[in-house]
Amino acid sequence: MKRVRRFAKIVWTVAKYRLDDIAVALAPRRRLVRMLPWRLLPAASASPARRLREALEELGPVFVKFGQVLSTRRDLLPTDYADELALLQDQVPPFAAALAVARIEGRAGRPIGQVFATFEETPLASASLAQVHAATLPTGEEVVVKVIRPGVEQVIANDLALLYAIARLLERLSKEARRLHLEQLVADYERTIFDELNLLLEAANTATLRRNFAASPLLYAPRVHWDYCFEDVLVMERVYGVPIADVETLRARGADMRKLAERGVETFFTQVFEDNFFHADMHPGNIFVDVTDAANPSYIAVDCAIIGRLTEADQAYLAKNIAAFFNQDYARVARLHVESGWIPAGTDVGAFEAVIRQLCEPIFQRPLKDISFGHFLVALFRTARRFEMEVQPQLVLLQKTLLNVEGLGRQLYPDLDLWHTAKPFMDRWMAQRYGPLAIARGLLEQAPALIDQLPRLPELLAAAGTRFGDMDRAAAEQRDAMRALTRALDTRRRGARWRQLAGAALALAGLGLLWRSAAATAVEPTVLAGAGAVIIGVLLAGRG
């Protein structure tokens, strides 16, 4: 019954915000869509993208978070939809503090007064999946306590079932919906949201990020208090800083805005290329600034539920793509996409290069400081889809994070030159990975194994000629076997054709005998012979 009411609520919201306009755009030729009863209502004044955002906000937390995930797929969505969905705010009224206390006591196995010295019932923040309370440990350390919202798992499961049903329906109705891979987007969202429900995973991510930047002035991650953590309760150090979006306060505190913006870029590239572990939810609500030393401001990161990683191959090809992009080497960009497996091996590299050139040349007519590499990635992924490129989830997270970093950086310092800031880092990273020192280091690492093989070197060289000869003989034997197999198949095909012809002739002859016996009232043996000939002929032709 609850699902029926929820579905009725969705239908009502679709009608209220006239989202049928979007359905018509997705499936313009579907008479069923055009005959929806609310199509008779007056047209809405707001844009379809804005109406979609407002409808998702009205439908509640699960749909809000789905819209946020959808906003990251700029390679799939029109720009106006992606921009509008990015405005979705994941803020909901708090749940009763007594429910949070009951969950903490149930996990800890003792009263809240024995767990914390103090516990503030008024939450610091409340979102769709959890809310956060301030507390003090018995040792006197200030902490924050994150508690999963009671009953949210069942709400998510019910809404996910409806989202899957809607996605499947739209994909059946519309080619455009199939291009958007709506069902796959819901599946990606399902993995993301259930990861966010596991606070032990967030605790592990926070601890790893803290360890990666332990000796760095760029970023600080709070300390996790593992003795108080469970799958639905997270306790970590309380940190104080200025919200990254509060630019006025940062300026009033004397923060070096240029250094802060450039450090944001350096932090991103360090996470992606050195640590291969990057905070993939760097929206303004999760980033604070420590301005204790205003001349050297640093970042504080919280909410590490969503983390991105790249394979070593993706790291290498991404780095080479960045260098080739800024060197305007479009042929290399095209080749790298094929070599990395991002687009199929049979792709016409020349045609792909021409499309990349057409995409990039207008970009390079602007000053470097005005070029957004994040938006270039969006345009590149969108273009590459024409060449059957399937954008991988880790690349989507990377694209989303880079857009956030660029956006925040230019909000802090409008003249931020991403390439000027990133190039020294990328040059150093490439040299460390592929330069002469990297080769020498690789040789040194392999030296013990090479030394072990040195006494066998004459034997290996002597055996090499024999092995090459064996390989040639094996190849020749394989070629002979293939020729014999081809001849056998040809013989079999010719035999099959002859059997088909013979069977057809025999069946026709049998039919002739049957016809003749019927016309002349022939004796039984003639009838039997004709019927037998037909059956044998059909079987013979069928075997051919």
pTM of the model: 0.70
Alpha carbons 429 and 289: distance in angstroms, whole number: 27
How far is Cα of residue 222 from the mean position of the Cα atoms in its chain? 27
237: which strand partners?
143
- DSSP designation for 224: B
Helix 393-412 vs helix 373-384: crossing angle, to nearest 10: 150
Q: Residue 54 corresponds to which tokens in the numbers above?
A: 């407002």
The answer to whether 402 and 381 have CB atoms below 8 angstroms apart is no
- Nearest CA to 266 out of 410, 424, 377 is that of 424
Alpha carbons 345 and 339: distance in angstroms, whole number: 8
Can you give the pLDDT at residue 538?
47
Strand ranges across the sheet with 219-220: 219-220, 298-301, 287-290, 242-243
Can you give the pLDDT at residue 488?
66
- Nearest CA to 263 out of 408, 455, 87, 461 is that of 408
Can you give the pLDDT at residue 534?
47
- Nearest CA to 374 out of 76, 77, 75 is that of 75
Can you give the pLDDT at residue 461?
61
Can you give the pLDDT at residue 120?
96
Which residue numbers in the chain have pLDDT < 70?
1, 20-44, 72-73, 75-76, 89-91, 176-177, 179-180, 368-369, 390-393, 435, 437-454, 456-482, 484-486, 488-544
Pairing status of strand 242-243 against strand 125-126: unpaired
Alpha carbons 358 and 270: distance in angstroms, whole number: 31
CB within 8 Å of 281: residues ≥ 6 apart = 303, 304, 305, 306
Can you give the pLDDT at residue 217?
94
Q: Residue 248 corresponds to which tokens in the numbers above?
A: 């006025």
pLDDT digits (tens, 9 = 90+) for 408-430: 888 888 888 777 788 788 888 88
Catalytic residues: 281
CB within 8 Å of 274: residues ≥ 6 apart = 429
Alpha carbons 379 and 391: distance in angstroms, whole number: 12
Where exactly are the structural domains of the chain? 2-92+154-194, 243-434, 458-543
Can you give the pLDDT at residue 478?
67
- DSSP string covering 433-475: HHSHHHHHHHHHHHHHHHHHHGGGHHHHHHHHHHHHHHHHHHH
pLDDT digits (tens, 9 = 90+) for 286-321: 899 999 999 999 999 999 988 888 888 888 888 888
- Alpha carbon separation from 202 to 16, 38, 67, 197, 252 (Å, rounded): 38, 44, 22, 9, 33
Q: Residue 338 corresponds to which tokens in the numbers above?
A: 């094929």
